[in-house]
Structure 1
């Protein structure tokens, strides 16, 4: 009996549900942060340029600054949340905004590196071209920390740390460098790292949203749920296999 009480006490320390914010407030936060218009659009533009300059000048501090101000995590978390709650209209909005942000980032960073007089690939840039299984773990645990913070009443200061750890903007700008210089190895390596970060942050959002039992926002058939789960499994497998291979080669 005493052992059971002790286990319950220990588990109580790890209880997430006690501090979960109001579900409607969480939904509003996700819906608001997926949009790229007004201030969010300008912040995205500035983050792209700052990250490109930081990579070009090999400045770690500047790159960290770009990570901190980048709003890219909003639509990624939104996609994960909308999949978990089967809110497909919200998912389409999040995907549309995310696609716009990715295309805009690639165009802007490619244009910058095409015009920059410094064409040498610096160490900060090269570090984003060879992702491994360890990058998967960083994205997964960083994403988990982020979604737990977003869902709690006390938001804390977790999100800036998650932004630095998962580093969404630098690999995207590195992919732009690859396009500008015609180096497809850099482009695909960096874009693969960006894909790893995106997929596993979204998967973290799906996992925590389901663990915390966020309410389903739309009526969804059992077949549709099975189809969604099947697609998630396929995506995880396709992303994991190359990263495990590259990690083993280290």
Structure 2
């Protein structure tokens, strides 16, 4: 019992010393005022948002990550989203109304601005930065939740640092809105829905994280003189929260299921669809259709092998999945050529990158060997100064490496020769001293000294 109490005491001491948020907590009212000030989207804030949207749209259009990051740093979108979480934590219905209104205004202006830009831009090619914002994953949910927690903790403490800009970059609220605008401008409903889906999920989980942070740090709830009004406000807040969270929970559940499905399908392909003399050129996994499409090149895979693989789908929790295999291009099957090209280019890039890395390592090794062979890494001005002090009789020093062939054994050795030109011939003691010093400098125990 005493040991258990001691452990509890040590844990409590560790928590209070290292993890207690109240140690550097900012004045609560200052934190609330800081979040409130960022909620309104009028005048300057709205113009900054419009400019940030244009910058993000340009970055997505030209596929520039640096420009997109710059737009996320400029964007003031975090304000109303954190305001919603704060209002729920404080029972502040007026703040919630202002935050939701500003959130809708900001969303509308951002999507409209992006739509206008993409309607007139001459660059209409879909870039990878755009595609990355059309299909949210479970990782986006975790990033939004943890990023929101980091944001509220930073705002509530005195040492704010550069956390808020980092949260804005990590949670990436601006790019999905611009991608939604691209979807409207190009008439692609799937891009619009996918991007807006990602934006909504990020917003909800940042608000949730803000609410959690507010409650964990015990912010003072708003007090009402009229208890009936307090009950009504709480009811409104609860219903709005449920109305917001229900679709978010449902969407997140689908994201989790799709992530598990993708992982299981990739595991199945890696374990069951590897055949001798055949290579997978392309793969396409569709969670909605419950379908795995694979394109093979090389030796044809037999129907029995494909059937056996199809039968083993159930072992990977893919029992209702249909396996579609394409082999060759002459069977009239609908093969996604662009996907194949993408896979080929990806393999080419990966192999080229690997080869370049190997070549760089080989060049560095050869440079080191050349430096060792020529002695250029240790012969220099400093060596001459040492020689003047230690062996003033030496006028010049030449060091070179040579190959020696043993005729009887055909063995080839590398020998280091040091040739010195002296004012006078050194005696045996001086000669031994010179040889030892040169051996230490060159690192060659078999160095041969020649005196001219």
Alignment TM-score > 0.5, same fold: yes
Tell me, in whole angstroms, the C-alpha distance in 1 between the residues paired with 2:203 and 2:179.
Answer: 15
Check conservation: 1:131, 1:246, Cα contact below 8 A.
no
Q: Secondary structure at the match of 2:42?
A: coil
Q: Name 2:258's counterpart in structure 1.
A: 246
Aligned match for 1:44, one of 26, 46, 49: 49
Verify: 1:4 aligned to 2:8, yes or no.
yes
Structure 2 residue 160 is the aligned partner of structure 1 residue 160:
no
Paired position in structure 2 for 1:66: 71
- Against the structure 1 CA distance between its residues 123 and 30, is the aligned structure 2 distance closer, same or farther, given a 3 Å change threshold? same
Change (3 A) 1:187 1:38: same
Distance 1:28 1:218 in 2: 17
Report the more deviating stretch, 196-205 or 234-243: 234-243
**1:145 equivalent in alignment to 2:145:** no
* CA displacement, residues 74-100 of structure 1 (integer Å, 9 cap, x when unaligned): 010001100111101011011111100
Within the candidate set 214, 218, 230, 1:213 is matched to 218
Whole-angstrom CA distance in 1 between matches of 2:48 and 2:68: 15
| Contact 1:87/1:218 (<8 A) preserved | no
Shift of 1:221: 2.1
Match for residue 35 of structure 2 among 23, 30, 33:
30
The aligned runs of 1:117-132 (5 Å cut-off) are 117-132=122-137
Counterpart position of 2:199: 194
Q: 1:142–1:162: 8 Å Cα contact kept in structure 2? A: yes
1:108 to 105, 109, 113: 113
Bigger helix share: 1
Alignment partners' CA distance in 1, 2:110 and 2:28: 32
1:99 aligns with 2:111: no
Q: Measure, in 1, the Cα distance between the counterparts of 2:40 and 2:149.
A: 22
8 A contact 1:134–1:247 mirrored in 2: no
Structure 1 residue 247: deviation in Å?
A: 1.8
Instruction: Give TM-score scaled by structure 1 length.
Output: 0.94
Q: How far off is 1:17 after superposition?
A: 2.0
CA deviation string 1:180-221 (max 9, x = no partner)? 001111110010010111000000001111111111124332
Shift of 1:234: 2.3
Of 113-122 and 225-234, the range deviating more from structure 2: 225-234
Q: Which runs of 5+ in 2 are unaligned?
A: 225-229, 263-452
| Aligned-partner Cα distance in 1 for 2:76–2:138 | 25
Moved more, 152-161 or 200-209: 152-161
Q: Indicate conservation of the 8 Å contact 1:85/1:218, yes or no.
A: no
The worse-fitting range, judged by mean Cα deviation, of 66-75 and 6-15 is 6-15
Distance change (3 Å), C-alpha of 1:117 and 1:91: same
Moved more, 11-20 or 82-91: 11-20
Q: Which moved more, 1:140-149 or 1:231-240?
A: 231-240
Aligned-residue CA RMSD (Å): 1.7
| Whole-angstrom CA distance in 2 between matches of 1:127 and 1:227 | 33
The number of residue pairs the alignment matches comes to: 250
Q: Normalized per residue, which structure has more strand?
A: 2
User: What TM-score, normalized to structure 2?
Assistant: 0.53
Equivalent position to 1:177, from 182, 188, 206: 182
CA–CA separation in structure 2 for the residues paired with 1:127 and 1:226: 34
Structure 1 spans left out of the alignment, 5+ residues? none
Per-residue CA distance 1:206-239 (angstroms, 9 max, x = gap): 1111111111124332962764664465244223
